[in-house]
Amino acid sequence: MVEYKKILFPVDLSTTSGKIIPHVKKLVETFGAELQVLHVASEQEYYVKKVKDQFVGSEEEPGKSVNAEMKTFKDEYLPDVSESNVEVIVGEADDEILKYIDNNGIDLIVMAIRGRSLLDKAVFGSVAANVARASTVPVFFINPLMDKFIQ
């Protein structure tokens, strides 16, 4: 039987990621796996929040607001996950997810996938598609719009 001991759940900190949490938890429970939660902040996201913090007068260290958002996401959706299993990295999402897989012994990736038009994919690319193409481990996609399966 196939075993998944470490499952990676890359999140974008949106409600889209939050909607698939019941499925993620069920997979973790079914396989008795360890869950790793990862947010890859783009350099733009990281620095925009850094500049915003400076203008608002935040005393937090640069990038802390991204970490604070991740903590809020974790506390709201995944309170049982250890802080040591939650990470924020700055970089290109698909590249960093693929590096994380190799560096952390990940067996399975679980991602929310949104239906996007071909124009969106051509202009913005698709992290999910790039990860699926280049991943060395299985990728499990869940459509967050399929609410009828979420109880």
Domains in the chain with CATH codes: 6-149 (3.40.50.620)
Secondary structure E strands in the chain: 6-10, 34-41, 86-90, 108-112, 139-142
What Å distances lie between residue 35 and 14, 54, 84, 119, CA to CA? 18, 34, 10, 34
pLDDT tens by residue, 39-96: 998 887 766 665 555 555 555 554 568 888 899 999 999 999 999 999 999 999 999 9
State the pLDDT at residue 147. 62
Entry pTM: 0.81
Per-residue pLDDT at 37 exceeds 60: yes
φ, ψ of residue 141 to 5 degrees: the values are -100, 140
pLDDT of residue 145: 78
